[in-house]
């Protein structure tokens, strides 16, 4: 697919993203259409018009990437770069540091995004009851064993990594909770709703716990009000793009696999 997006770390995700997911980014960037001081009124209108029409073309997708990159740098830095903003990887590392995510700046974007999601989830654990923690572990196919601090998070990370589509679920629960906290609405899972079996767990107390800790991440800077939620949404979109759904049971079907990991149905039709 030809893309007008110059940053390769954004191009693949934004160029193939569902309109509903891009609409969340538009709302984060434009403050739900209210506009921001550093966002021109013309750009705000262009983005909101595309969202309202339900048709976000290549040029508008490129505009979303451009505005995110502009928010990623401070005014002086952007001026020195001719207003071009900063690369997505630079934004990603800045957000990771801001939310105190343990990450390697030399890792690829997907790994850093997962570290950010885990940092948000880790903060929320303190807001969960023992039963909610048990439900969370169960959602990732594991059994909760009470422990404290780093040991608990290490066990949860192991559960997420062991799950067939743990990274996707992690991204979905965090992005959904963040969208609710900031925009007042969750994600529209659309055709992938079948992948989110057990989504009630995410939208119930566990989702509320993540929403409750959102204020821990100081969003006093106008730039962070955009970059932090946008990075979390893009992390979700990247994980979503890595999966398709089985036509038989609607379970996630990882790209490149020939058979469904849940029901064993062939995925050949999806590979053509």
Phi then psi dihedrals of residue 120, to 5 deg: -65, -45
Tell me the longest C-alpha to C-alpha distance in the chain. 55
Where do the structural domains in the chain lie, given as residue ranges? 8-241, 243-272
* Range 131-140 burial, b when 16+ CB lie within 10 A, else e: ebbbbbbebb
pTM score: 0.84
Q: In terms of Cα–Cα distance, which of 18, 64, 105 is closest to 230?
A: 64
Q: In terms of Cα–Cα distance, which of 37, 82, 32, 73 is closest to 47?
A: 32
CA distance 175 to 116: 11
CA distance 136 to 140: 7
State whether residue 62 is helix, strand or coil.
helix
Give the pLDDT of the chain (272 residues) as one tens digit per residue. 456 888 999 998 999 899 999 999 999 999 999 999 888 999 999 999 999 999 999 999 999 999 999 888 754 455 455 556 789 999 999 999 988 999 999 999 999 999 999 998 888 888 888 988 888 888 888 899 888 778 899 999 998 888 767 888 889 888 988 888 889 888 876 655 555 555 555 566 667 777 776 666 666 677 888 999 999 999 999 998 877 666 677 666 665 667 777 788 876 544 33
The 8-class DSSP code of residue 73 comes to: S
């Amino acid at each position: 697919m030809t893309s007008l997006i110059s940053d390769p770390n954004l191009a693949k995700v934004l160029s193939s993203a569902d309109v509903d997911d891009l609409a969340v980014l538009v709302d984060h960037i434009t403050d739900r259409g209210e506009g921001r001081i550093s966002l021109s009124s013309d750009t705000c209108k262009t983005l909101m018009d595309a969202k309202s029409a339900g048709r976000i073309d290549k040029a508008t997708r490129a505009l979303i990437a451009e505005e995110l990159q502009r928010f990623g740098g401070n005014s002086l830095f952007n001026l020195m770069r001719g207003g071009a903003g900063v690369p997505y990887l630079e934004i990603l590392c800045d957000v990771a540091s801001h939310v105190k995510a343990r990450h390697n700046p030399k890792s690829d974007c997907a790994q850093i995004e997962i570290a950010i999601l885990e940092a948000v989830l880790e903060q929320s654990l303190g807001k969960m009851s023992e039963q909610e923690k048990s439900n969370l572990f169960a959602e990732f196919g594991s059994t909760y064993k009470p422990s404290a601090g780093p040991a608990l998070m290490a066990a949860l990370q192991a559960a997420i990594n062991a799950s067939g589509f743990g990274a996707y679920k992690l991204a979905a629960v965090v992005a959904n909770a963040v969208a609710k906290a900031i925009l007042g609405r969750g994600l529209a899972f659309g055709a992938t709703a079948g992948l989110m079996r057990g989504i009630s767990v995410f939208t119930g107390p566990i989702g509320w716990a993540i929403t409750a800790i959102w204020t821990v991440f100081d969003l006093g800077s106008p730039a962070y009000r955009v970059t932090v939620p946008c990075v979390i949404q893009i992390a979700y979109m990247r994980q979503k793009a890595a999966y398709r759904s089985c036509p038989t049971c609607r379970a996630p079907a990882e790209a490149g696999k020939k058979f469904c990991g849940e029901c064993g149905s062939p995925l050949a039709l999806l590979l053509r």
